[in-house]
Amino acid sequence: MTLIRIEHTVLASGSEDAGPKGGASRVDKLSYCLFICEEIGMPFYKVWYQNKPEPLEFSTAGRIREEEIVDRLLAHEQRIAYVSPEAQRDGAATVVRPTVQELISSNDLTPVRYTEDESEPFTIG
């Protein structure tokens, strides 16, 4: 199976961004990549958060857990996961990861909903 890296590019409505020498636009390239991902069975996710009108969209090599969806959301927003002072104290070797709901609420991302391959929406927090 061939894996493809997809970089999501958001373009304004009606924007035309032709490639070099009249090549395909970024929208065409994104659509083509999404088509390939569907053809080889890669799950396609749409994640809505903070009541934003446009979702974060990405594909993965296989199904992922809700924790990984939130990690991608935090990376997209250029935020890091919160680590409690108790976990940092005394050079603790083990860092306790916050729950998904704690990550969502501490980063003010609510509500978070997602679909996988056009499924019914799931609510994370």
**pLDDT at residue 114, rounded to an integer:** 96
Do 118 and 90 form a contact (C-beta atoms < 8 A)?
Answer: no
As a whole number of angstroms, the distance between CA 45 and CA 65 comes to 12
Do 56 and 70 form a contact (C-beta atoms < 8 A)?
Answer: no
Report which DSSP code applies to 25.
-
Contacts of residue 97, defined as CB under 8 A and 6 or more positions apart, other chains included, come to 67, 81
**pLDDT at residue 121, rounded to an integer:** 94
Stretches where the chain sits below pLDDT 50 are 1-20
**pLDDT at residue 41, rounded to an integer:** 74
**pLDDT at residue 19, rounded to an integer:** 46
